[in-house]
């Protein structure tokens, strides 16, 4: 048994880390969020979400991230099933293929898509080369959804894969044995048993998608403003840290809710792979 | 052939080039408790999976009541399986688990409720319907797995080492429970195990398998008392397997001494394997024995003493006896003729895994 003081010593670096890089910044956000430039308390920064321009950005962010999350789920589920179905040895190469892009710089990957989707980009050049009309993809909500799906898909695949590969194959066999066809087996057994993975996957895609400003910046141009962009601009351009922090608190509220939901469904931490 | 419920005909199966089942042929009769017994990797589970429809044979035919079901998916087969480690649906209550098959078949709610009650009573778990599988012990979960299977009134119940994860006491209780269930339900049980005691206790018929071949098929008594080869003799219970020479019919020479036996037809002066069960080795005074030896080991086992008697050539005989002979004492060894089992020596690796047809 470690003595309490010894335990405290071992934990020290982590306590320091959490305090310096999590707790203090969080308090600073809260402090800025509830004060104005003269330092007196106010809720104006938070109620500023009701300003039509901000509210529109929040709604759009929610809408785009919900759509992206749904698309990610629909793409990732069959993929995760295929990955889980293969033996461990074979699938590890496949799993690697999905993890590998995540090791590349996020900005770099998104900028690459900018080049591809541009009006005079690679895709449109190819289209016009074979005589097809050019597509207007860049700087639309569609391009942002595309960017979100592309960037966050692995975060959906991995928890699902983790969850699905933990299902005892005999449980699936048992369902078949008891008379269920493959569709019934999927709906009544596979899907419910993968709920922890689904919830984790949804959280891990929805949260970064909701808060992103880089994807909307690069693929949406200045035309599509998400709540993330609004906050970013408050900090970097308008230099109004108070308003930026206030709006951040609103976002944080959404994030905490989805974290709680995910924690309720994923008690064993099945979905947390990364 | 008409009264065979299941008929496996010339089944071959290999995984990654490795032969698991080699030309296996097997009949299963109605209302029989048939056990597939063998060491791990002998092909017993693969055989069960082929009957259940979870594995397709590379070649060969599976007949069920005379109909070819080789390529029929498991959900269309009139049999149910109790899986190793239970395989319960952990997201459903016990009652929902049991109701699963019946709901799929579209039975009425009243019928399903009745069946759940009946099944829970049958496995002695009355009132557990609203619990979740995780809250039950291993033995209870296994009984639920059995209940979940039998409510569908299958003609055959397949059981894949269902007691493997349970401790000894529970396993013995469950063995009696299974025999009782089998008698009450009057259906065919096909049981897979590597535990020879379990097989001897419960089965009507035992199929001993090794390396993808059937070694012997017979009643527990027959398998135990008249093993057909050294593998069966060794696998089923303790035994002394010694080299012998068949001098002539009904006379065998073991370590230079001549023993009368009841086997014939092996030829004259032919090397054979001789199997003698430890409880069939009789110890007596040195001058009254056919062979002489010295007691080198002695353990009290409760019902009997377990001794090792070393003969001058160095062979250690395993002996079970209710009479105690202390270590170091010289004894004589006798064996009654009908307790001596003569078997042909395997001439090659292949023959060691002889394929015996009934």
What architecture does CATH give domain A52-265? Orthogonal Bundle (1.10)
| Strand, coil or helix: B310 | strand
Q: How close B68 gets to chain A, by Cα (Å)? A: 18
Contact A180 B100 (CB under 8 A): yes
Contacts of B73 in chain A (CB under 8 A): 176, 181
Is residue B185 included in any domain, yes or no?
A: yes
Residue B270 sits in the same domain as residue B167 = no
Q: How confident is the model at residue B225 (pLDDT cuts 50, 70, 90)?
A: confident
Residues in chain B: 358
The answer to whether residues B154 and B250 belong to one domain is: no
In chain B, % helix, strand, coil (3-state, to 5) comes to 30, 35, 40
**Measured between CB atoms, which of A178, A193, A195 is closest to B80?**
A178
**Distance of alpha carbon B215 from the chain centroid:** 11
Q: Are residues B72 and B48 in the same domain?
A: yes
State whether B132 and B197 are in the same domain: yes
B195, B225, B255 - which closes a domain: B225
In this structure, is residue B353 part of a structural domain? no
* Shared domain check, B318 and B186: no
| B264 and B201 co-located in one domain | no
Which pLDDT does position B344 carry in this prediction? 83
Asked if B327 and B273 sit in the same domain, the reply is yes
C-alpha A43/C-alpha A158 separation (Å) is 40
Instruction: Classify residue B165: in a domain, yes or no.
Output: yes
Compare CB distances from B75 to A179, A188, A189 and report the shortest one's residue.
A179
Output phi, psi for B342, to 5 deg.
-95, 135
- Split into its structural domains, chain B has a count of 2
Q: Using CB atoms, pick whichever of A176, A188, A192 lies closest to residue B74.
A: A176
Decide if B89 contacts A189 (C-beta within 8 A): yes
The residue among B91, B107, B141 with the most chain A CBs within 10 A of its CB, best to mutate, is: B91
Full pLDDT tens readout for chain A, 274 residues: 556 788 888 889 999 999 999 999 999 999 999 999 888 999 999 999 999 999 999 999 999 999 999 999 999 999 899 888 875 666 677 777 777 877 888 888 888 888 888 888 888 888 888 888 888 888 889 999 999 999 999 899 989 999 999 999 999 999 999 999 999 999 999 999 999 999 999 999 999 999 999 999 999 887 788 999 999 999 999 899 999 999 999 999 988 998 888 888 876 655 444 3
Beta carbons of B13 and B58 less than 8 angstroms apart: yes
Arithmetic mean of pLDDT over chain B = 90
**Domain span at residue B123?**
6-225
Over residues A59-104, the pLDDT tens digits come to 999 999 999 999 999 999 998 998 888 756 666 777 777 778 778 8
Is B197 in the same domain as B334? no
d(CA A95, CA B186): 49
Using a CB–CB cutoff of 8 Å, tell me whether A193 touches chain B: yes
Q: Phi and psi (nearest 5°) for B160?
A: -100, 95
Residues B153 and B83 grouped into a single domain: yes
**C-alpha B195 chain-centroid distance:** 7
Q: CATH code at B274? A: 2.40.50.140
If you measure CA to CA, which chain B residue comes closest to A194? B91
CATH number of the domain bearing residue B186: 3.40.50.300
Residue B287, in any domain of the structure? yes
**Angstrom distance (rounded) from CA B120 to CA B167:** 22
User: Which chain B positions have a beta carbon within 8 Å of A171's beta carbon?
Assistant: 87-90
Asked whether residue B28 falls in the same domain as residue B74, the answer is: yes
Residue pLDDT, tens place only, B46-89: 999 999 999 999 999 999 999 999 999 999 999 999 998 889 99
Residues 6 or more apart whose CB falls under 8 angstroms from that of A206 comprise: A65, A66, A69, A258
B317-356 pLDDT tens trace: 999 999 999 999 999 999 999 999 888 887 654 444 444 4
Q: B205 and B343 share a domain? A: no
């Amino acid at each position: 048994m470690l003595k309490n003081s010894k335990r405290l010593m071992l934990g020290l670096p982590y306590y320091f880390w959490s305090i310096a890089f999590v707790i203090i910044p969080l308090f600073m956000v809260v402090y800025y969020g509830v004060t104005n430039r003269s330092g007196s308390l106010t809720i104006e920064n938070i109620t500023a979400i009701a300003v039509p321009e901000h509210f529109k950005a929040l709604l759009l962010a929610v809408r785009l991230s919900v759509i992206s999350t749904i698309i990610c789920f629909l793409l990732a589920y069959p993929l995760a099933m295929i990955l889980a179905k293969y033996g461990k040895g074979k699938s590890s190469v496949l799993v690697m293929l999905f993890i590998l892009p995540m090791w590349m710089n996020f900005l770099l990957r998104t900028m690459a898509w900018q080049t591809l989707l541009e009006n005079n980009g690679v895709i449109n050049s190819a289209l016009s080369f074979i005589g097809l009309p050019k597509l207007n993809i860049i700087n639309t909500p569609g391009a942002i959804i595309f960017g979100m799906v592309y960037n966050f898909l692995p975060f959906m695949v991995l928890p699902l894969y983790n969850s699905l590969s933990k299902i005892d194959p005999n449980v699936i066999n048992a369902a078949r044995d008891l008379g269920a066809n493959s569709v019934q087996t999927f709906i009544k057994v596979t899907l419910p048993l993968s709920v922890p993975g689904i919830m984790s996957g949804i959280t891990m895609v929805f949260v970064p998608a909701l808060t992103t400003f880089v994807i909307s910046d690069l693929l949406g141009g200045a035309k599509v403003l998400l709540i993330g962009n609004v906050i970013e601009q408050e900090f970097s351009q308008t230099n109004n840290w108070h308003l930026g922090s206030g709006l951040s608190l609103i976002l944080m509220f959404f994030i905490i809710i989805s974290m709680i939901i995910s924690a309720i469904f994923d008690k064993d931490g099945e979905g947390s792979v990364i | 052939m008409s009264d065979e419920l299941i008929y496996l005909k010339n089944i071959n199966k290999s995984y990654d080039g490795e032969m698991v089942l080699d030309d296996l042929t097997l009949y299963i009769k109605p209302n029989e408790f048939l056990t597939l017994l063998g060491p791990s990797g002998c092909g017993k589970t693969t055989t069960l999976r082929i009957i259940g429809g979870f594995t397709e044979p590379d070649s060969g035919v599976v007949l069920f009541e005379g109909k070819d079901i080789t390529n029929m998916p498991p959900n269309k087969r009139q049999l149910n399986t109790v899986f190793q480690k239970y395989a319960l649906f952990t997201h459903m209550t016990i009652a929902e688990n049991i109701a699963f098959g019946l709901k799929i078949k579209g039975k009425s709610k009243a019928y399903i409720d009745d069946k759940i009650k009946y099944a829970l009573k049958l496995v002695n778990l009355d009132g557990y319907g609203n619990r979740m599988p995780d809250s039950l012990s291993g033995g209870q979960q296994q009984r639920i797995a059995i209940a979940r299977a039998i409510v569908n009134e299958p003609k055959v119940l397949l059981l894949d080492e269902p007691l493997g994860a349970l401790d000894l006491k529970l396993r013995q209780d469950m063995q009696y429970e299974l025999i009782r269930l089998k008698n009450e339900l009057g259906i065919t049980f096909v049981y897979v195990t590597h535990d020879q005691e379990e097989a001897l206790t419960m089965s009507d018929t035992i199929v001993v398998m090794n390396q993808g071949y059937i070694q012997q098929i017979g009643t527990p008594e027959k398998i135990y008392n008249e093993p057909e080869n050294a593998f069966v003799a060794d696998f089923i219970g303790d035994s002394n397997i010694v080299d012998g020479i068949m001098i002539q019919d009904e006379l065998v020479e073991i370590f230079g001494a001549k023993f009368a036996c009841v086997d014939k037809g092996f030829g004259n002066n032919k090397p054979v394997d001789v199997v003698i069960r430890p409880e069939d080795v009789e110890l007596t005074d040195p001058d009254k024995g056919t062979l002489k030896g010295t007691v080198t080991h002695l353990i009290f086992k409760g019902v009997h003493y377990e001794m090792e008697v070393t003969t001058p050539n160095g062979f250690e005989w395993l002996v079970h006896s209710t009479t105690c002979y202390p270590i170091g004492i010289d004894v004589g060894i006798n064996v009654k003729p009908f307790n001596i089992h003569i078997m042909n020596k395997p001439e090659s690796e292949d023959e060691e895994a002889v394929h015996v047809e009934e």
